[in-house]
Structure 1
Amino acid sequence: MPKFILNTKIYATADVCFNLARSINLHLDTMKHTGEKAIAGITTGLIGLNETVTWKARHFGVTMKLTSRITACEIPVLFTDEMVAGPFKMMKHKHVFEQKKGYTLMTDEFIYESPLGLLGKLADMLFLRKYMQNLIEHRNRVIKQKAEAAVEDTIN
């Protein structure tokens, strides 16, 4: 199963980073290039424990739906979302927020299993793992920008 871990240093509090990371609205902003929409469950605002959201987006020229549930949530330390229906055999995304002196370390642990056996494993090696990592890196850059801008606004 492919897995990657990303660390992002953000000069803002863990609460701000945590809430931005679980914001449906921010997620939609970061995924405009895929035409992503929240079509069921929690479709705006902040998602919480045991809540679900169904996303509809276009990836690789194909429209897909994915439903995820928040299976763990400890404000503002961590939350985990897991796919309950969608294109993967399994997908789990753990978000951890560590308040450090002057910044928050946001860690994403992303693990998934592709469908289609050997063909899925080949897709992982050729492009899918990197594609998923790029999506989350892009999202993290936006979270960092928004969080640090919010800090700037409170200073000025």
Structure 2
Amino acid sequence: MPVLIEVVTVIHAPPAVVFDLELDVDVHTASLAGSGETATTSTGLRRLHLDDEVTLHARHLGLPWRTTSRVTAYDRPHRFVDEQTRGPFRALHHEHLFDDLTSGGTRMTDRMSITAPAGALGDVVAHLLLAPYLRRLLQRRGSHVKAVAEAGREHPA
């Protein structure tokens, strides 16, 4: 059974800036430095586009994780979607939405749906452990992107 996780971050920067930062794998890995995350892209470029894949290696919940996702939808600067092609979940669908606010900022919404392996037991683990953990990761990443975007820099110092 899929679990839906949604995190909203308001950022005082234009949607195009926030959109591009979200697709920058170096910004992504910097936001999760505590997990030792590294990223390899299918193109060798550091900013993802439609049909690009990224493989992430990290340590989460005390375990090594490896997941590969593909950008399956791309509508700059409003929305993109990445979906797991290989990894620990039966399914992972991550929609990124960027709404232009009248104040000149952006409401960035991360909407992630996960389906865990292992049937009913996996569903319980997904609800009780994985969803709260992934919510914290999305919040941490959103805060990092917000700091970078509002500082007007492409990458953190």
Same fold (TM over 0.5): yes
Instruction: Give the match for residue 35 of structure 1.
Output: 36
Closer/same/farther in 2, CA of residues 52 and 144 from structure 1, 3 Å limit: same
Q: Which residue of 1 aligns with 2:92?
A: 91
| Structure having the larger proportion of residues in helix | 1
Show the 5 A alignment for 1:1-156. 1-42=2-43, 44-101=45-102, 102-150=104-152
Unaligned runs of 5+ in 2: none
CA contact (8 A) 1:65 1:87 kept: yes
Q: Which amino acid is 1:108 matched to?
A: D
Describe the shift of the 1:7–1:82 C-alpha distance in structure 2 as closer, same or farther (beyond 3 A). Answer: same
1:154 corresponds in structure 2 to none
Instruction: Give TM-score, length-normalised by structure 1.
Output: 0.91
Give the root-mean-square deviation of aligned CA atoms: 1.4
Work out the CA distance in 1 between the residues paired with 2:43 and 2:89: 21
Contact 1:25 1:44 in 2 (8 A): no
Pairwise CA distance, 1:7:
1.5
The residue matched to 1:150 in structure 2 has which SS?
coil
The TM-score with structure 2 as length reference comes to 0.91
Preserved CA contact (<8 Å) 2:41 2:52: no
Q: What is the alpha-carbon distance in structure 2 between the residues aligned to residue 127 and residue 115 of structure 1? A: 14
Count of equivalent residues: 151
Give the letter for the 2:152 counterpart.
Answer: A
Residue 91 of structure 2 contacts residue 116 of structure 2 at CA under 8 Å; is this kept in 1?
Answer: yes
SS in 1 for 2:112: strand
Secondary structure at 1:129's aligned position in 2?
Answer: helix
